[in-house]
Structure formats: C-alpha cells, structure tokens
Structure 1
Amino acid sequence: MTTLKHFPVTASAADILNELDLNGALVIEGFLTSEELDRLNAEINPALEKKPVNHAHPNAAVEFFHGPHTKHLTGVANVSDTFVNAVLLHPIFKLVGDQILLPNCSDYILNLAHVLDRGPGSGDQLIHRDQDVWPRELTSAIGGHVQFASLIALSEYTADMGATRVVPGSHRWPHDRVPKPEEIVIAEMSPGSAVIYLGSTLHGAGSNRTDAVRRGMHTSFCLGWLRTEENSYLSISRERVRKMSRRAQELLGFGVHDGIAKGEGFLGAVDNGIPADMLAAGRL
C-alpha cells in the first residue's frame, strides 16, 4: 500500500525536498498555528457567507470540475491579512519555490489561491495534474518543474469528508498512466496542516459523505513568466497591495520577471517601470 509521509513544520529542508523529489507530495503538520488558522477563517468567513453554492463559471467544464455543492472564494489576499503574512510568505513555500522553480525562471509568482467549502454530497473530483492548465507540449519540453501547490486543511480533513486523494510517485509516470486504486492515498490531516505536492503529481478531492462542510485552501505558485490562473492584479485593491511587504507584492505579480541577464526579456513592466516601485512612489 502506498503511503503519504507526514513531517512536522520544523522538518529540515533536506527532508522536505527529498520527499518531494521521491514521491511528489507530503503532508506538513502544523503548517499554520492554531492562532493563524483561527484568524484566517475569521477573515474569510464574511466573504464566503456571501458566496452561493455552485457559483456559475463561464466555462461549463470548470463548473463541473468544482461540483454542485461547493462554495468557492478567490481573491483571498484581498480579504485576509493572515493569508498574505502566514500563507503567501510561509518559509516552506519559499524553500520549495527557490529550489524547484528558480532553475526555470528569474522569479516565481502566485498562480492561484482559493478556498473551497465542499459540502455534503460533493463527489470524487477528477484525478488530475495541476500543471495541465498549461499546454502539455510546453511543460514537457521545459525539462523541470513549472509549478507546485498545496492544500491547507482549514477544517477537519478526513476521508469521509472528502480529504484530497493523492497518487505518490505519479510525478514520474508517463502522462497516460492511470493509477490503480491501491496507488491512491487519502491525505487525512488535522486543521492547519497542509499537503504540498508538485504540479505533475496526480490528485483530486474525495467525496464528502458527512453532514459537515470540508474547508480547504488551494495555493499554488508557478514560473514567473507563465500566465497565471488567477488575475491577482484585478483581484486585489491597490490600496491593500500598497500596504504589503515588497516580497508579497512581487509574489502577487507586482514585480517584474527580469531575465535580461540570461538573454531573455523584462516582463510585467508598467510605463517601463516596476509596478511595486510605482506603488511605493504613489504613481499607481
């Protein structure tokens, strides 16, 4: 039986990176402290309460993917300081991003952050690879990682509630290989813990067979020159961005991807300037 290894938030960089390289996924216990978890939930609750179940999506396939019993909140950085300070800037995300993404870019950025309240009756999600949002010919040709992601348990996260199903080792498989049932592991976690996985690792939400809502937050990062799933520039007010740290601004896309030293380009400029500099100067 395949297993998913659990590590404390104090685990060494070598242990975390070795496990990601070997199995493509791991659980970090205590990724958020209980205080951070409580603050985060308190900050996002008002916005989630206003969201309908099964919010319409312009693409029917995406709407089907999330299912008819799900509340979906994007633009998390616009409503939660705790997300920005404790999640976006988490040292384990920096460790993984620096190690696996920087070889293929000058900097990496937030691809998507959203909270999913999967209610009773939610079914099994399609087993998938997150990096397949981009053309497979491109991601295959790069010869390295283009993305990594996480799912943070913001509530109880049990098998019966639909905890994420993960296929350890699938990041090394041919793309058309289908996992056997015994190769799929359920990432049961305590609130505040997180499963971190590569963009090439197969995974998918499970069925919620309880009467409770399972809340999880997906956060993913990608190469800084890729088109992101979420448009953070319009998801967050400039006044909020202006008050953030420089690194948070850069991760949200308000820096530039400067590849000049590598013979590449200078991407993301505004009026030939760096957006974060212009925010600081009051020019944006």
Structure 2
Amino acid sequence: MTYLLSHHAAELLDQGYTIVRGAVPTDLVSVLSADLDPHFAATPFCDGDFYGRRTKRFGSLLTRSPHAAHFVQHPMALGLADHALGQFCDRIALNLTQGIEIHEGALAQYPHRDEDMWGGPKGEIEYLVNIIWPMTPFTQENGGTRLWPGSNHCFGAALNEDAAVVPELMPGDMLAFLGSTLHGGGGNRTPHPRRGLIVSYALGWLKPYELQWLVYPPEVARGFAPELAALVGYAQHRPNLGNVEGQDPSLLLRDHMNDHHAATDALREEQAAALRDYVAEQEAARAGTLGG
C-alpha cells in the first residue's frame, strides 16, 4: 500500500491524474449502483449547459446508500488527497459526493478546472482532489472523462481538444485528478448511459462545493462513524476554525448538549508553543513585580 500510494501520488502531482486499477471489488460497485438506481430514475436531466442537458446529477450519497461510505473513505483516495493537499491545510474535508449519468446525445462538457470555483491564487497551491468511480465502463464513445495531461502545470495557455486523453475505465477502477487539471465529461454517442460516482476532497478551510453540514445535519451525522463525521465537517480546522461555541462541532452529535461552554483553544503546535512562551513571559514579569 505504501509503495502504491507513493507511486500514484507522484503520478498525480506530475501528470495531474492517476488511475488505480481494481481499487474496489466489482460487486461493491454493483450494490452501490443498485442502491442508486431509483435515484437516477427519479432525477430529471440537468438545466444548464455546464451541468449538461442530457446528464443527470444528484448528491448527498452518504444518505442514499450505506455502501457509499466505502468509496468516500477508501484508503487510497484519502491517501492521495492527504498527499496532494496536506501541506496546505490542517485537515482535508469532503467537498462533494455526486452520482452522474451521461445519456445518449449528451454533448462534451466545457473543459474546466474545478479549483476555479474558489477565487484564490492559482498555480501556487492545490485546492482539491477528485476521485471518479465508474459504475459502467468509461470509453471515448460513451462520454468518458477527458483529461489534459500536465495541465496542472500549464495555466493561461490554450490547450487543444486533440491534446486530451480519455482513459478507458472499468467498474472497480479509480481515476484521481487534481482540481488544477483541465478536464471535462465527454459526449455520449451510444444508446447506453455512462454512469459514475465522483467523490472530491478539498482543503479543510474552504467552503465546500456541496454544503456538507446541511446535506448531513447532526441528526444524520450521528449515525456516521466518528472519522466519517469529521470528514464531512464535524471537526475543527486549527486554529479554531469551524467551531461551535468555541468547541469542536462534534459536540452537536452528542445526545445532550449544554447551552453554555467554555471556549477552548484549538491551535497548531507552533501556535500553542509561541502562546505558552508569551504567557510565561507575562507571568514571570508579573511575579517579579509582585515580588519587588
């Protein structure tokens, strides 16, 4: 696992994407897809040229199938996200879970970088890691995802359509790519829908694309494992970001919550050390004054 993670992480940062073959058993993909069948059937086509007028999309997958958590918490997916994003944040957070089905006649999606949803500087840090889990085969003919290799290092230059690659993927495979990687769904020229799951992870201090705390309110998140609850946002990002009454927001998942709490520091180690030194200097000075 360590070697595989190192290999795929290096490829992800170099080319902007990497493919892990056979990352999950195909029967796990099948049961997840079966759980999502009624939701795909009930979901109307998107309204908008970016989302795709022959494409169906819906989120909140952790409430739609008990099997979704296996994909969200997949060790390789989390490892790749940590590797790409960890130097820029205290912790990563779940940004999105979405089922996507591209139907016959769908046009190719406009090439884009997902990091552009945030207005910060580009080319200096990574904001996002996407994981695509195919639930049907992905091919060039049925709308497989187009990727521009190395585009994570190339900003502002015009990239031709013929420079894109369309990896062929099978259920069980994992496609990971950076938020800085130029990509877009393909056009579906077949009579069969192309179905997939996308899970993305972002810097923990960013506002997520899918507002996790509303999608999974406390009464829902109480049923999550603690690690999953933290991933969807029931955890502070040091220093003190995302607190509730000065406390870790996981307190909202308790059966009973007091109305009043002592606000408690949640600092990075270097901040806590500097603060201890600062307080110690003041206490020493006060002790000297009192002693004199």
Unpaired runs of 5+ residues, structure 1, are 1-8, 57-62, 260-265
Identity of aligned residues (%): 28
Q: From the CA coordinates, give the structure whose radius of gyration is larger.
A: 2
SS of the counterpart of 2:37?
A: helix
Q: Does 1:51 align with 2:35?
A: no
Contact 2:19/2:174 (8 A) holds in 1: yes
Q: Return the alpha-carbon distance in structure 1 between the equivalents of residues 107 and 139 of structure 2.
A: 14
Match of 1:134 among 96, 100, 118: 118
1:146 counterpart = 2:113: no
Counterpart CA distance in 2 for 1:129 and 1:80 is: 29
| Partner of residue 33, structure 2 | 41
The one of 78, 82, 85 equivalent to 1:94 is 78
Given the two structures, how large is their TM-score scaled by the length of structure 1? 0.85
CA contact (8 A) 2:143 2:186 kept: yes
Alpha-carbon distance between aligned partners in 1 of 2:234 and 2:189, rounded to the nearest angstrom:
41
Amino acid across the alignment from 1:156: P
> Residues 185-196 of structure 1: matches in 2 within 5 Å?
185-196=165-176
- 1:155-234 equivalences under 5 Å are 155-173=136-154, 175-234=155-214
Aligned to 2:263: none
Matches within 5 A, 1:259-278: 259=239, 266-278=240-252
1:244 to 2:206 alignment: no
CA distance in 2, matches of 1:159, 1:110: 29
Q: What is the total number of aligned residue pairs between the two structures?
A: 258
> Partners in 2 of 1:66 and 1:126 — Cα distance?
9
Contact 1:117 1:216 in 2 (8 A): yes
1:120 aligns with 2:104: yes
Determine the C-alpha separation between the residues in 2 that align with 1:126 and 1:18. 27
Please tell me the root mean square deviation across aligned C-alpha atoms, in Å: 1.9
Residue 253 of structure 2 aligns with which residue? 279
CA contact (8 A) 1:153 1:193 kept: yes
3-state SS of 1:116 partner = strand
The answer to whether the 8 Å contact 2:22/2:172 transfers is yes
Find the counterpart in structure 2 of residue 78 from structure 1: 63
8 Å contact from structure 1 (residues 78, 237) kept in 2: no
Residues 131 and 139 of structure 1 are in contact (CA less than 8 Å); yes or no, is this contact kept in structure 2? Answer: no
Q: CA deviation at 1:238?
A: 3.2
Deviation per CA, 1:240-264, whole angstroms, max 9, x where unpaired? Answer: 31121111111111111122xxxxx
Residue of structure 1 in register with 2:276 after alignment: none
1:13 to 2:43 alignment? no
SS state at 1:277 partner: helix
Moved over 4 A (4+): none
Query: After superposition, what is the alpha-carbon deviation per residue over 1:125-161, rounded to whole angstroms, capped at 9, x for unaligned?
Result: 01111101111xx2327x2211111221111211110
The 2-side partners of 1:222 and 1:180 are apart by 28
Deviation by residue 1:160-213 (Cα, 9 ceiling, x = unmatched): 10000001111011x221223442100211112121011111110111000000
Question: Is the 1:139–1:146 Cα contact (8 Å) retained in structure 2?
Answer: no
TM-score norm. by structure 2 comes to 0.83
Aligned to 1:60: none
Residue 4 (structure 1) aligns with: none
- Residue 47 of structure 1: CA displacement? 2.1
Consecutive unaligned residues in structure 2, runs of 5 or more: 259-292
